[in-house]
Amino acid sequence: MEWRMANKIDEVPIAGDGILPCIYPVRGFTSMPDSNLETVPGISEYVLRIAKYMGGSCLHKVDREGCPLYIERLGYHDAKKLATFTTIEEVVNYHIACNEFLHRKIMGECTERVGHIIHKETVIFDCTNMGWNQFHMPALQFIRAIADIDQKYYPETMNKLYLVNAPSAFVMVWKIVKGWLDPGVIEKIHILGKDYPKVLLEQIPAENLPDFLGGTCTCSHIAGGCVPSHMAKTLPVAPEITVANPNVSGVYTDELVEKSRKAAEAKKAEAAAQGTAPFA
């Protein structure tokens, strides 16, 4: 709580109001239309720069418990360039903004759907295409920083984490990463073998699991499919950085955030006026 207050985390702006665009792909929720990260004026330059070196990710529907499902194509990350052309501070700020959107917007919807509080997510890391280039120590420090944030300030928010299609060399990296994780987190991590579709389908309905992971979902209605990735060639290119995307400290420019704030105030005033009109 002290961290949230000191860093004004509750004031971190989140998408879903029709003005602030999503900062990572979303599928299967009513509170946020199916969207990709796109070149939209007002998104910070560093958000688009991070995406340039990422292998692809998506907040993709829900599991059988009603928890949101996050999928990341870990094996397609350009780890060396990510560590070279972005900073840990930028990646951590981006991660916090993604977390706030997940917890304040998406989990609220999930809670309404099932009728009880949902405060955890299920995660799949797909290691397809992973090679020695991902095992880059400076890039691993980014993982350590993110894990540190999640364990300190978003504790007990992971339901389960599945690692699939991991190469044998991953064992060496896992020995390093495991040392940074709390025992309670390690217990929720499942490194699956070739029969991983069977295990995933026990947790996730087939219609909510992408076909490349053993499900039946394709998200053919939107560019990039279930987990859009220019690295995996499901999208032609990464979002372009333009002059309308200045490098600011937050994920959105102050101008866009102010526009969102004014729209929210106008909506609140309109609702209040409608509520008091009969008594005027």
Q: What is the pLDDT of residues 245-260, one digit of tens each?
A: 999 999 999 999 999 9
CA dihedral 110, 112, 118, 119 (to 10 degrees): 80
Indicate the pLDDT class of residue 280, thresholds 50, 70 and 90. very low
What is the pLDDT at residue 267? 86
Q: Which domain covers residue 143, as residue numbers?
A: 1-270
Domain assignment of residue 156, yes or no: yes
SS (H, E, C) 219-266: CCCCCCCCCCCCCCCCCCCCCCCCCCCCCCCCCECHHHHHHHHHHHHH
Domain assignment of residue 278, yes or no: no
- What is the DSSP secondary structure assignment for residue 269, as one 8-state letter? H
Whether the predicted pLDDT of 277 surpasses 50: no
What percentage of residues in the chain have a pLDDT greater than 70? 98
Domain assignment of residue 191, yes or no: yes
Cα–Cα dist 191/165, whole Å: 9
Identify the weakest region by mean pLDDT among 20-24, 119-123, 133-137, 163-167: 133-137
Domain assignment of residue 280, yes or no: no
**Number of domains comprising the chain:** 1
Cα–Cα dist 202/9, whole Å: 35
Q: Taking a C-beta distance cutoff of 8 angstroms, is the pair 101, 154 a contact?
A: no
Cα–Cα dist 30/165, whole Å: 31
Indicate the pLDDT class of residue 275, thresholds 50, 70 and 90. confident
CATH of the domain at 44: 3.40.525.10
What is the pLDDT at residue 168? 86
Cα–Cα dist 123/68, whole Å: 8
Domain assignment of residue 276, yes or no: no
Domain assignment of residue 174, yes or no: yes
User: What are the strands, taking DSSP E only, across the chain?
Assistant: 26-27, 57-62, 68-72, 121-126, 158-164, 189-191
Domain assignment of residue 218, yes or no: yes
Give the tens place of pLDDT for each residue, 32-71. Answer: 999 999 999 999 999 999 999 999 999 999 999 999 999 9
What is the pLDDT at residue 169? 81
